[in-house]
Structures are given as structure tokens and as C-alpha cells.
Amino acid sequence: MFKFLNSLPSKLTRITSGGKLIREIDGLRFIAILPVLVQHFTERFERNTSIDFIPLASDNFISFLAARGFLGVYIFFVISGFVLGLPFAAHKFQGKKEVKIGNYFLRRVTRLEPPYVIWMTLFFLLFVFHKHVPFLTYLPHYLANITYTHALIYNEWSPFNPPTWTLEIEIQFYLLAPFLAMLFFKIKEKYLRRIFNITIILLLVLCQQYFQFFKVPYNFTILGHLQYFLVGFLLADLYLNDWSEISPNTLFDFTGVLALCSLIYFWSWDYELFNRIMVLISLFVFFVSVFKGNYLNRFVVNRWIMAIGGMCYTIYLIHLPFAEFLILLTKKIQVSSYYAVNLFVQLGIFIPIILSISAVFYFYLEKPFMNKDWPKNFYLKLKSLF
């Protein structure tokens, strides 16, 4: 048993198309997915419990922190900007292999689409069966879901799996990323290039503020969130050109913690301009600190942290429906009348269960599609059978 557990992180390690795994990125994926899990389960716990809390949940600081789990989505957006921008930037700055646009889009489809379609199909069928609603009534919602257009068409979350609206924004960025990379990384002088990047980010935020793109329907599109991906572009630029000049230092551990506290403090649903700019600055500082801190870096490159972060796509796809189901079984559990105590008990049940379930499904329903040659191998296997 110990031998199996010891080998588990290596079994769960992601397969990358480029062959190079940036360990900090998987660690950051863990930091992104954990608050999302906490927020979504906390919301379901507060809605379903009948406990009279002391103090009230709405007055509890722990509830305030849990509600900030949405910040995990912004971290995911920055990661996507960094990861997708990196190969285009490497070609421009270091003469690495050019990214073929056809291969780029094919890779996105073969890597992300199969597990997404599998899970959305399953949740759609379960929704129809459990809610006793007409199949044909919700079929258009399902078709919109699997084509990443549900929020664009309906201006609301998916009825089967609400968090997937952020995946639709990710897809919109995937479509734009090659062309944005050509625009941002073709400027040879690095300081001019970075001034251009920062200027575009600030102009985006100002336009969003003026036109209120942070409201429905625009917040369901890339128009309300592009600045986070461009922070990832800026980080990719630094990573390829100036990373070696930034020496690892314990000071970055302090700046990383301060940046995280700043994120929690400044983010709110009020969308004030100053706060939104501070969130972007905090995200940038936090990413640099994770890479260059001593203790922060050791934490994120821990093999268990990396393994969990590496399977974040599966976790993200399945966690909310499972949370809805699990809370029905655990909502009557009560340990005193203190909100924090009961919440920690509930999370202590939910998080290990969802991580264990996700590991199994990740291994069998996601990891096989990380192999870029799986379509060819599948075709050859199918051909040999017939």
C-alpha cells in the first residue's frame, strides 16, 4: 500500500506535448483549483444546512475567505496566458521551433474536447433523469455546452455544470492566442514590448470600466477577462528573457504572501477601477514570487501538489455536480454550533473524496488524451480490429 501511494504522484504526472514540464505551473494549478473547491462546496453547505450558526455564516470571516475562491479562476486565466504564449514567444525570442497553427488547434481539440464531451454528456443525462425534465427541452443547452457557446447564447450558466462558463472563455482565448502572440511578441525591443503589453492591459480595464464589460452578457466573454491572459503573456516574456537575472530569495516568500493577501483584500463584486488594477498587480507579483521564492517554490513543486494541480481539468469538470450530491448526504452532520468548525468538517469530508474520485477519472478519462498521438494510435487499433 505504501509503495502504491509513493508511486501515485509519478503515475498522475501530466504528459506535455512539448515534453518539458514546468513544475511551478502545475503547483499554481493546485493553488487555483483549491479555493474554487472551497468556495463552491461552502456555498452548497450554507444553502443546505439547517444549523443555527454562532456567529451567523454571513458574519464569519471564514465565510468571507471562502467566497474569495473565485480568485482561483483568475489564476487559471493567467496560467493559460503564460502556457499558450510561451511557445510563440520562444520562437520569436530564442529561435525555437515555429508553432504550426493547424497543429496548435488540433492539439487543443484532441487534448481538451474528449473528457469535456464525456462529462457534459453524462451530466446532461443525469440532469434530465434526476430533474424529470423533457430531453428535447434541454438538448439545445447540451449542444451549446459541448460547442462552448452556452453562455454566449443563453447569457447564463450551464444548468448541468455551471462552472463550465469559464472554460468557454478559455476556448475564446485559445482561438485568439496565436494572433495575439503575433501582435505582442513581434516587437523586438523588450522594454517597448512590455510597455505595449501593460498599456493594452490598462486600456482594456478602462474600457471594461467605461462600457461595464464586467456585467452580463460581456462578463461571459473574453471581453471581460482578457487582461488576465495578457498578464500571462507578460510573465512568459520575462520567463524567457530575464528569469535568470532574478535570483531566488526568501524575500519573494514575503512578497508572495503579501500579494495573496492583497488579492483577497482588493477583489470584490463591486469592480472598482483601483481594486481591479490592484488585483492584476497582485497576480503578477504572486506568480513571480512562486517561481523565485524559497519556501513558496518548495511548496508548489512538491510532487503531491503538482500531481493534484496536474489533474485540475478533471477536478474542475466534475467537482460541482459531486458537491451537489455529497452535501445531500452530509448536510445533517453537526459538530457544535460554530460555523467554522462545521465547515472544516464538511470540507474535510468533501476534498479528500473529490480528489480521490478525480484521480481515478483523470487517469482513465483525461490522461490518455494527453498523448498527442492518441488519434493516430486509436485509428491504427481500430483498423487492426476490422
Task: Report the distance separating Cα 292 and Cα 80, nearest Å.
Answer: 20
At residue 155, does pLDDT exceed 80?
yes
At residue 251, does pLDDT exceed 70?
yes
Contact 144, 153 (CB under 8 A): yes
At 113-149, the pLDDT tens digits run: 999 999 999 999 999 999 999 999 999 999 999 999 9
Task: Report the distance separating Cα 137 and Cα 122, nearest Å.
Answer: 17
Report the pLDDT value the prediction gives residue 54, as an integer from 0 to 100.
76
Mean pLDDT of 24-38: 97
At residue 16, does pLDDT exceed 80?
no
Closest CA to 316 of 21, 147, 73, 113: 73
pTM over 0.75: yes
Report the pLDDT value the prediction gives residue 19, as an integer from 0 to 100.
55
Mean pLDDT of 95-114: 92
Mean pLDDT of 16-45: 90
Closest CA to 182 of 251, 289, 104: 104
Report the pLDDT value the prediction gives residue 77, as an integer from 0 to 100.
98
Report the pLDDT value the prediction gives residue 5, as an integer from 0 to 100.
64
At 308, list the grid cell: 493534484
Q: SS3 letters for 286-320?
A: HHHHHHHCCHHHHHHCCHHHHHHHHCHHHHHHHHH
Task: Kindly report which listed range (4-18, 111-125, 195-209, 238-252) carries the lowest average pLDDT score.
Answer: 4-18
Closest CA to 255 of 295, 202, 197: 295
Mean pLDDT of 77-89: 97
DSSP helix/strand/coil, 217: coil
